[in-house]
Amino acid sequence: MAYAVQVKTNAKTFGFWLVGPKAKTMRSPHHIYVLVNIKSGRGCETIDYYIVPSAVVAEKTVYSKATTGKSEWYQFNLSDAVPFTDDWSPFGLSSLA
């Protein structure tokens, strides 16, 4: 089985990942987002993975626009990713180990 995988990474733990406008419309059982938070501190590093189907990202992506200026962005929130923590099952895996 072939998959399209899109990886979004935060160098620190944030409550969201920036995604593009196409995230609102991309829905395919073979398109998966791997969202990553890299936590560093006290001499160690932890990495959190969230393996989220594109249909969930499309449904839960939030559009925001600045009240001043022309800035706009699309974001997928951590709270919507949590149910998919380390869920590598779409790839036939139970974990990365």
Total of domains in the chain: 1
Amino acid letter, 85:
T
Instruction: Tell me if 15 is assigned to some domain.
Output: yes
Q: Which amino acid is at 27?
A: R
What domain range is 21 assigned to? 4-88
Q: In this structure, is residue 97 part of a structural domain?
A: no
Distance of alpha carbon 93 from alpha carbon 97, whole angstroms = 9
28-71 confidence digits (pLDDT tens): 999 999 999 998 877 778 899 999 999 999 999 999 988 887 88
Query: Is 25 domain-assigned?
Result: yes
Is 31 part of a structural domain of the chain? yes
Residue 54 and residue 56: Cα distance in Å, rounded?
A: 5
| pLDDT score of 96 more than 70 | no
User: What CATH number does the domain containing 8 carry?
Assistant: 3.40.210.30
Confirm whether 93 is domain-assigned: no
The confidence band for 97, taking pLDDT boundaries of 50, 70 and 90, is low
